[in-house]
């Protein structure tokens, strides 16, 4: 089926691959689809529900039928579009969704039962009998679900991720995209030109028109030569922009090595591209017509047929019929005839259409049905009052063009209907910073696309402040676009819309009849547009059928919601790098290496590694080191790194107002140079996190969060700023990694801090005070706060100076009889004081449970206030935070144990609470614990039974307040 002398394939480099075990001859530059067509293989897949035979329908990423699996075992990749997969020597391709073979598929028996399997049958069938669900229905559905199958083996090669920034991102490389990129590049803008095809040029690679006296491919080559020679241009072939996101960010999937044998290169790369301006020049997608039997192998889009003929030099059949409602039909017929393919008929739905070709021509005609099973054999045609059969093995259909506006609608903009082109175009407010050009903008002639690309390029250049340049526009085809609506032909038999999911026009009308009249409801009732191609070629036709069924216009009916990704993205590409250390990265603090030097065992704390303790010579177990460090802090001075705490800056005139909404207590009244402890609730009234808020200036605050909740709090602040209080003038930014921070605690902490500051007076701070100072000329922030119960400070310094400050602090601490302390000692110190971590703020606790209800302001509103006041979250039935001490002979407590009445049985029904944190206190020479106990604050002095069934530990404990050491806080306040 090869056409001699045509196509852009490399005939000097033959390639052989296999399809279902059969050796296929091809050439470099072929796709699997073009090679199968060249070898006269007509059936390439089976439909999902009825297993009907399907042939090639399109030539790009909108292909609904030709889904195949490439490779085997660890290299297997299912649901690959044969139209996008380039061939290479030894490629192994397997068809899908059939058994035992494509031509003899047992699953085709479903087609015989199609009257019982209409749209929505699953909603009605699988309801009764109820007992059948788990044993019958669910197993059957699970076995039937999906198309291709994963091998179950780990992939041999990994995908990767990458980031890019540019002034102008141009999506699509047709005439509009190339002209826009050339205009912006000549003006000096940093340009990224992204094209999903393996070659730049878009539709110009498939047409025979000339531009400026050159063929389409020649003109594309001349433009690419200039673009690739410019240092400010990145040309990205095989890269599909899959989604538009906030603030000019786009996701893009690059097929890195899928066009060659597996090697060391990754299969795919998922890009995050940040662009100041974007030009969407993604072209348009041709749509078909719904008519009885339109799913036969051999029925395909007219534009796809031209692509196979002109780009790959392949004949789709021996004799072709062309049917359409635009001049596309006549262009296709001319190209077929020029290639030596017999044109059996040209049928134009427009009654006033004319033709210049030497072929049977039927203006105002339509195709009524098709004949054939595994391949098209003939058509039933109606022209006027006459009906007749045309024998043919190929039908090229064109129902018009749909501008590819998907990316312009990903952030909520709705497409707008245009009657003159009978299609949807991008709405008046698409993605911020995006301009739509060319066929994507509803311009379907080459000259118009070139001019619109020039316009869009200049708009982008002006927006980024550069001087515009206007290249001369070459002469090009400028045929006006004329269309007569043609959505379906009603007749005997099923007219298909979604070819993969087997959705028919009857299904859409049934949805309307059963009151699923919204496009979103119709979509879910029928599964229209829910196949892998996401309805790129069928959705608009389905909407027109729905509009006719409901008596509405297509414009009033509207569209379903456009969501990313534009094409399927493998999970391995989306999550590239997220395995091994990429899945659980090791985050080291600035002083990590210095702590390791001291022999400190490192333990995971949240996403970070922190020193557990600092052993000295002669200390045999961790408890000896921990006890010594606790006594050191209580008696002299200790230093520990707290860089892992979340640190968030909130800036702007409305920062105080914003923090009043976020925290339960008032932050807008906080004086400059002061710090306040704050409590943050979720919207459901439960505690999210606690921490400190320091006011550095009138419009600048620094928040600290717990290590575990740093990311959660940052997301929460972003949500509040964008969704709940969008009118406030402020900015939030995480600076956790920008600042190293160290706690200095103990009676001699002030002496240590003053000894290292350039101005020792800056170390004289009141409790909960803060200031900006310097150490050896480096700016630092000093906070008078404590998480140990002792007089304490925290010093923040830029991260690159963190290790140097750690070493300086240790040197001065040792001169004062102190030294470093680790996470174990820190935990003991905070349990002695009853301070909280996420062991207590466990997602179920409220401010009332923690005894912090006094921090909930009655004078202002804040997030969670209303729901925190629900009766079920208050009162004596709640488990409240208490402290525990062992009594009698018991010496050990454990975390996670349950509490029971002193004489009660240790059963689930009798449990009254549980322990959250425990530690041995060398200060008080006893175990201490924190726990939640029903009505705990009223039960101080009561004895309970603690039982740890898993560790087989039991103890008698006495209930008391959470704070066991220095309850009046005199040591901490100094």
Residues 651 and 689 placed together within one structural domain of the fold: yes
Residues 379 and 491 placed together within one structural domain of the fold: yes
Mean pLDDT of the residues in the chain = 94
Residue 608 included in any domain: no
889/499: higher pLDDT: 499
Q: Which pLDDT value is given to residue 244?
A: 96
Residue 178 included in any domain: yes
Q: Which pLDDT value is given to residue 524?
A: 92
pLDDT of 369 higher than 90: yes
630-680 pLDDT, tens digit per residue, is 999 999 999 999 999 999 999 999 999 999 999 999 999 999 999 999 999
Q: Which pLDDT value is given to residue 152?
A: 84
Q: Which pLDDT value is given to residue 117?
A: 78
Closest CA to 847 of 831, 827, 869: 869
pLDDT of 126 higher than 80: no
Q: Which pLDDT value is given to residue 891?
A: 76
- Mean pLDDT within 818-841: 97
145-157 pLDDT, tens digit per residue, is 778 888 888 777 6
Residue 628 included in any domain: no
pLDDT of 241 higher than 90: yes
Residue 758 sits in which domain range? 638-829
- Mean pLDDT within 921-939: 97
Q: Which pLDDT value is given to residue 831?
A: 98
- Residue 748 dihedral angles phi and psi, to the nearest 5°: -100, 20
Residues 707 and 801 placed together within one structural domain of the fold: yes
- In the numeric block, the tokens 């209303």 are attached to 866
Q: Residue 255 belongs to a domain with what CATH number?
A: 3.50.50.60
The answer to whether the CB of 112 falls within 8 A of the CB of 44 is no
Count CB atoms within 10 A of the CB of residue 375: 17
Q: Which pLDDT value is given to residue 122?
A: 74
Q: Which pLDDT value is given to residue 133?
A: 78
* Model confidence, pTM: 0.80
pLDDT of 575 higher than 80: yes
Is 256 in a helix, a strand, or coil? coil
Q: Which pLDDT value is given to residue 441?
A: 96
Residues 649 and 782 placed together within one structural domain of the fold: yes
- Residue 372 dihedral angles phi and psi, to the nearest 5°: 120, 160
456-469 pLDDT, tens digit per residue, is 999 999 999 999 87
The answer to whether the CB of 158 falls within 8 A of the CB of 266 is yes
Residue 855 included in any domain: no
Residues 694 and 812 placed together within one structural domain of the fold: yes
Q: Which band of pLDDT confidence, cut at 50, 70 and 90, is reported for residue 540?
A: very high
Q: Which band of pLDDT confidence, cut at 50, 70 and 90, is reported for residue 118?
A: confident
pLDDT of 300 higher than 80: yes
Residues 721 and 820 placed together within one structural domain of the fold: yes
Q: Which pLDDT value is given to residue 161?
A: 93
**DSSP string of 583-612, one letter each residue:** TS--EE-TTHHHHHHTTPPEEEETTEEEE-
Closest CA to 777 of 759, 765, 755, 795: 759
pLDDT of 532 higher than 90: no
Domain stop point among 413, 429, 463 = 463
Domain stop point among 557, 580, 600 = 557
Q: Residue 59 belongs to a domain with what CATH number?
A: 3.10.20.440
Q: Which pLDDT value is given to residue 803?
A: 97
149/201: higher pLDDT: 201
Domain stop point among 526, 542, 557 = 557
Q: Which band of pLDDT confidence, cut at 50, 70 and 90, is reported for residue 75?
A: confident
- Residue 160 dihedral angles phi and psi, to the nearest 5°: -135, 170
- Mean pLDDT within 573-577: 88
- H-run or E-run covering 937: none
Q: Which pLDDT value is given to residue 148?
A: 84
Q: Which band of pLDDT confidence, cut at 50, 70 and 90, is reported for residue 696?
A: very high
Number of domain units in the chain:
5
- Mean pLDDT within 876-883: 96
Residue 583 included in any domain: no
pLDDT of 411 higher than 80: yes
Q: Residue 781 belongs to a domain with what CATH number?
A: 3.30.1360.120
- H-run or E-run covering 947: strand 943-948
Residue 333 included in any domain: yes
717-743 pLDDT, tens digit per residue, is 999 999 999 999 999 999 999 999 999
pLDDT of 960 higher than 90: yes
pLDDT of 287 higher than 90: yes
Residues 420 and 357 placed together within one structural domain of the fold: no
Residue 903 included in any domain: yes
Residue 1: half-sphere exposure toward Cβ, Cα within 13 Å: 24
Q: Which band of pLDDT confidence, cut at 50, 70 and 90, is reported for residue 319?
A: very high
885-927 pLDDT, tens digit per residue, is 999 876 789 999 999 999 899 999 999 999 999 999 999 999 9
pLDDT of 124 higher than 80: no
Q: Which pLDDT value is given to residue 125?
A: 75
Q: Which pLDDT value is given to residue 845?
A: 96
The answer to whether the CB of 863 falls within 8 A of the CB of 724 is yes
The answer to whether the CB of 489 falls within 8 A of the CB of 495 is yes
Residue 146 included in any domain: no
Residues 679 and 816 placed together within one structural domain of the fold: yes
Q: Which pLDDT value is given to residue 100?
A: 93
Residues 512 and 380 placed together within one structural domain of the fold: yes
Q: Residue 892 belongs to a domain with what CATH number?
A: 2.40.30.110
Residues 367 and 230 placed together within one structural domain of the fold: no
Residues 950 and 961 placed together within one structural domain of the fold: yes
- Mean pLDDT within 585-594: 94
- H-run or E-run covering 373: none
Q: Which pLDDT value is given to residue 263?
A: 82
pLDDT above 90 as % of the chain: 87
Residues 714 and 678 placed together within one structural domain of the fold: yes
């Amino acid at each position: 089926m090869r056409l001699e002398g045509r196509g852009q394939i490399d005939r000097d480099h033959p390639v052989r691959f296999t399809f279902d075990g059969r050796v296929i001859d091809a050439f470099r530059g072929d796709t699997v689809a073009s090679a199968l067509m060249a070898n006269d293989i007509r059936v390439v897949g089976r439909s999902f529900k009825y297993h009907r035979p399907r042939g090639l329908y399109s030539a790009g990423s909108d292909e609904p039928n030709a889904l195949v699996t490439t490779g085997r075992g660890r290299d297997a990749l299912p649901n690959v579009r044969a139209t996008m997969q380039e061939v290479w020597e030894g490629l192994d391709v397997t068809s899908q969704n059939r058994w035992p073979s494509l031509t003899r598929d047992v699953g085709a028996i479903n087609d015989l039962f199609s009257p019982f399997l209409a749209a929505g049958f699953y909603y009605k069938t699988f309801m009764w009998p109820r007992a059948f669900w788990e044993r019958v229905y669910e197993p059957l559905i699970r076995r039937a679900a999906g198309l291709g199958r994963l091998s179950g083996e780990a992939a041999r090669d990994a995908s990767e991720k990458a980031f890019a920034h540019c002034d102008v991102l141009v999506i699509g490389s047709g005439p509009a995209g190339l002209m826009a990129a050339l205009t912006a590049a000549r003006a000096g803008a940093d340009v990224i030109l992204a094209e999903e095809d393996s070659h730049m040029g878009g539709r110009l690679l498939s047409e025979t028109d000339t531009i400026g006296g050159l063929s389409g491919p020649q003109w594309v080559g001349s433009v690419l030569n200039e673009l690739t020679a410019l240092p400010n241009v990145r040309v990205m072939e095989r890269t599909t922009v899959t989604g538009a996101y906030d603030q000019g960010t786009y996701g893009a999937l690059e097929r890195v090595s899928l066009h060659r044998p597996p090697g060391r290169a990754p299969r795919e790369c998922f890009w995050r591209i940040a662009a100041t301006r974007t030009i969407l020049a993604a072209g348009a997608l041709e749509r078909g017509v719904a008519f009885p039997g339109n799913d036969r192998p051999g029925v395909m889009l007219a534009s796809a047929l031209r692509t196979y003929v002109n780009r790959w030099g392949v004949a789709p059949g021996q004799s072709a019929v062309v049917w359409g409602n635009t001049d596309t039909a006549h262009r296709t017929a001319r190209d077929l005839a020029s290639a030596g393919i017999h044109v059996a008929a040209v049928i134009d739905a427009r009654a006033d259409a004319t033709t210049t070709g030497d072929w049977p021509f039927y203006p105002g005609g339509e195709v009524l049905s098709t004949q054939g099973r595994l391949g098209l054999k003939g058509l039933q045609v109606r022209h006027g009052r006459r009906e007749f059969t045309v024998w043919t093995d190929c039908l090229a259909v064109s129902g018009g063009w749909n501008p590819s506006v998907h990316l312009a609608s990903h952030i909520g903009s709705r497409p707008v209907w245009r009657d003159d082109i009978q299609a949807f175009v991008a709405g008046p407010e698409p993605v911020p910073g995006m301009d739509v050009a060319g066929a994507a903008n509803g311009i379907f002639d080459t000259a118009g696309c070139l001019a619109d690309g020039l316009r869009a390029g200049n708009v982008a250049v002006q927006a980024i402040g550069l001087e515009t340049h206007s290249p001369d526009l070459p002469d090009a085809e400028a045929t006006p676009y004329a269309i007569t609506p043609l959505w379906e032909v009603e007749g005997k038999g099923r007219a298909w819309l979604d070819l993969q999911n087997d959705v028919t026009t009857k299904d859409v009308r049934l949805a309307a009849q059963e009151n699923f009249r919204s496009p979103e409801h119709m979509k879910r009732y029928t599964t229209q547009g829910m196949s892998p191609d996401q309805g790129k070629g069928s959705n608009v036709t389905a909407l027109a059928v729905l509009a006719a069924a409901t008596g509405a216009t297509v414009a009033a009916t509207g569209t379903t919601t456009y969501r990313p990704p534009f094409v399927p993205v493998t999970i391995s590409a989306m999550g590239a790098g997220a395995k091994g250390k990429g899945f659980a990265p090791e985050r080291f603090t600035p002083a990590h290496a210095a702590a390791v030097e001291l022999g400190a065992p490192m333990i995971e704390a949240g996403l970070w590694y922190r020193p557990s303790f600092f052993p000295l010579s002669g200390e045999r177990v961790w408890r000896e080191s921990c006890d010594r460090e606790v006594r050191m802090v209580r008696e002299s001075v200790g230093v520990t790194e707290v860089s892992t705490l979340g640190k968030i800056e909130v800036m702007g005139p409305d920062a105080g107002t914003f923090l009043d909404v976020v925290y339960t207590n008032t932050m807008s009244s906080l004086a400059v140079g002061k710090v306040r402890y704050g409590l943050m609730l979720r919207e459901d009234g439960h505690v999210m996190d606690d921490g400190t808020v320091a006011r550095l200036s009138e419009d600048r605050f620094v928040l600290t969060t717990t290590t575990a909740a740093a990311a959660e709090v940052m997301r929460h602040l972003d949500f509040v700023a964008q969704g709940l209080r969008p009118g406030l003038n402020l900015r939030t930014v995480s600076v956790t990694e920008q600042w190293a921070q160290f706690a200095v605690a103990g009676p001699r902490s002030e002496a240590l801090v003053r000894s290292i500051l350039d101005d020792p007076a800056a170390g004289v701070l009141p409790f909960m005070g803060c200031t900006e100072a310097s150490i050896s000329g480096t700016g630092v922030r000093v906070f008078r706060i404590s998480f140990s119960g002792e007089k304490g400070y925290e010093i923040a310094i830029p991260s690159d100076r963190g290790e140097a400050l750690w070493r300086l602090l240790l040197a001065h601490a040792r001169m004062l009889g102190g030294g470093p302390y680790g996470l174990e000692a820190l935990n003991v110190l905070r349990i002695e004081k009853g301070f909280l971590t996420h062991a207590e703020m466990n997602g179920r606790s409220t401010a009332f449970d923690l005894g912090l209800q006094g921090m909930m302001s009655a004078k202002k509103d804040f997030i969670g206030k209303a729901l925190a006041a629900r009766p079920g979250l208050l009162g004596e039935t709640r488990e409240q935070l208490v402290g525990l001490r062992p009594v009698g002979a018991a010496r050990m407590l454990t975390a996670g144990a349950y509490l029971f009445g002193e004489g009660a049985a240790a059963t689930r029904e009798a449990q009254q609470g549980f322990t959250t944190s425990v530690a041995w206190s060398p200060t008080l020479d006893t175990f201490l614990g924190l726990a939640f106990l029903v009505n705990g604050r009223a039960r101080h002095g009561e004895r309970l039974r603690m039982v740890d069934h898993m560790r087989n530990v039991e103890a008698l404990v006495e209930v008391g307040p959470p704070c066991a050491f220095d309850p009046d806080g005199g040591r901490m306040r100094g």
